[in-house]
Amino acid sequence: MSAAIEEMKTKEIRPQRTSETRDNRVRHLTTHLVLILGAIVILFPIAWMISTSLKSQSQVIQFPPIWIPKPIVWENYRNAITIFPVPFWIFGWNSMYLSLGNVIGSIVSNTIVAFAFARLSFRGSRVLFLLVLSTMMLPQQVTMIPLFILFSKLGWVNTYHPLIVPQFFANAFYVFMLRQFFTTIPRDLDDAARIDGCGVLGLFWRILLPLAAPAVGIIAIFEFTASWNWFLGPLIYLSKMETFPLALALSYLNASYRVLWSELMVVSFIAMLPPLILFFIAQKAYIQGIVVTGVKG
């Protein structure tokens, strides 16, 4: 923090008054310089991942490091996905199943709950909504162990039920976010619909839900990314390799073949791609969503 402030001081306080425009240009230039430097730091590990995924065994451990692999070893990709005792596509399928299951669950449950909180008046709504918000602060470790016992007794270990079913019962962040969105839709619309004989469900299904499509989209993207990247949950419940999502497959590879850096980078790269592509396609909506809720990925 103090470094940041220091930086600003040296950059802006200087009483150069030669000309306003020149001053501005210099300021802009330094800003860009700092930002580009930061961007390089941010992008470097990702570039390094890709570069390493194409290096030969000997180049991977060379010091000083080699920037561009020579020769480019495409076989690393084949090696990496055939190293597992089960076909690699299973991991991708599992990740997809986990993510889509959670996306569907969160959309179905959160839209309904948020609609009720935003548009219907009922006794205790205030208290209940505060309760919803307060659960955001709860560290999941407090509920993790009893839930594990519960789901084990149900015979759900090594299935995806413990990882998907709870998402069908609403989630504080998404309820909050959707409710925020619903409240921005003018109430006149409700009144008009009511006068036309629309019931509560009709109001939700035919008027508000279509209008909330952007917010629902944001939740779908959030939830997809979060489930795709989820590690602790799958780690607890899944122990058979054929049930692993990509995150666990990568963790397995890391634990068993730590020296195979290229192959590790290959699988990291593959695991990273879907959320990354989704982010690039929908980055405007994504960033908007974070801004509205203050939720970080």
Partner 1 sequence: MSISTDSRRLGVGHVPRKPRSRQRSEELMAYLLISPWIIGFALFILGPMLASFGLSFLETNLFSWEYVGLKNYTTLFSTDATRSLFWVSLYNTVYYVFFSIPLTIGAGFFIAVLLNQDMRGRSAYRVIYYLPSIIPGIAASVVWLYLFQPDFGVINWLFSAVGIEGVRWLYDPRTAKMAFVIMSVWGAGGNMLIFLAGLQGIPTELYEAAKIDGAVAWSRLRHITLPLMSPTIFFVVITNIIASFQVFTNVYVMTNGDGGPANSTMMYVLHIYLVAFRQYRLGYASALAWVLFVILLLFTLLVFKSSSLWVYYETEVGGKRE
Report 74-93 residues binding partner 1 (CB under 8 A).
none
Q: Which stretch binds partner 1 (CB under 8 A): 24-32, 68-76, 81-89, 211-219?
A: 24-32
Among 16, 25, 31, 57, contact with partner 1 (rule: CB under 8 A): 31
From residue 164 to residue 183, what is the string marking binding to partner 1 with x (rule CB under 8 A)?
--x-xxx----x----x--x
Nearest distance from C-beta of residue 254 to partner 1, angstroms: 6
Give me Rg for the CA atoms of the chain.
Answer: 25
Q: Are 290 and 280 in contact (CB under 8 A)?
A: no
Cα 274–chain centre separation: 11
Smallest distance from the beta carbon of 261 to partner 1, in angstroms? 6
Taking the complex as a whole, the smallest distance from the CB of residue 8 to partner 1 amounts, in Å, to 6
How many residues touch partner 1 (CB under 8 A)?
Answer: 114
The residue within the footprint of partner 1, chosen from 150, 189, 192, 281 (CB under 8 A), is: 150
138 binds partner 1 (CB under 8 A): yes
Using the contact rule CB under 8 A, the part of the chain among 25-33, 72-80, 81-89, 206-214 near partner 1 is 25-33
Residue 59 CB, nearest distance to partner 1 (Å)? 10
> Using the rule CB under 8 A, is 54 a contact of partner 1?
no
Residue with Cβ nearer partner 1 (149 or 213): 149
Give the chain's largest Cα–Cα span: 77
Binders in 231-270 for partner 1, by CB under 8 A:
231-232, 235-236, 246-247, 250-251, 254-255, 258, 261, 264-265, 268-269
CB atoms within 10 A of CB 289: 21
**Contact set for partner 1, span 187-206 (CB under 8 A):** 187, 191, 200-201, 204
Q: Closest distance between partner 1 and the C-beta of residue 208, in Å?
A: 12
Residues 96-125 that bind partner 1 (CB under 8 A): 109, 112-113, 115-123, 125
Prior bond of 64 cis (ω within 30°): yes
> What is the rounded CA–CA span in Å between residue 30 and residue 24?
10
Q: With respect to partner 1, which residue has the nearer C-beta, 37 or 86?
A: 37
The H or E element containing residue 80 is helix 75-82
Angle formed by the axes of helices 172-183 and 125-134, to 10°? 130
Spatial separation of the C-alpha atoms in residues 126 and 227, rounded to whole Å: 30
Q: How far is it, in rounded angstroms, from Cα 22 to Cα 18?
A: 7
How many of the other CB atoms lie within 10 Å of CB of 93?
13
Q: Which of 19, 20, 21, 149 binds partner 1 (CB under 8 A)?
A: 149
68 counts as binding partner 1 under rule CB under 8 A: no
Query: Which amino acid, 172?
Result: A
Comparison of 2 and 21: residue with beta carbon closer to partner 1: 2
Among 37, 39, 72, 154, binds partner 1 (CB under 8 A): 39
Determine how many CB atoms are found less than 10 A away from the CB of residue 37.
10
Please confirm whether the linkage preceding 71 is cis (ω < 30° from 0): yes
Contacting residue, 22, 25, 28, 70, with partner 1 by CB under 8 A: 28
Which residue reads 């519960």 in tokens? 150
CA dist., res. 182 & res. 208, Å (int): 7
Distances from the Cα of 17 to the Cα of 21, 30, 77, angstroms: 10, 17, 58
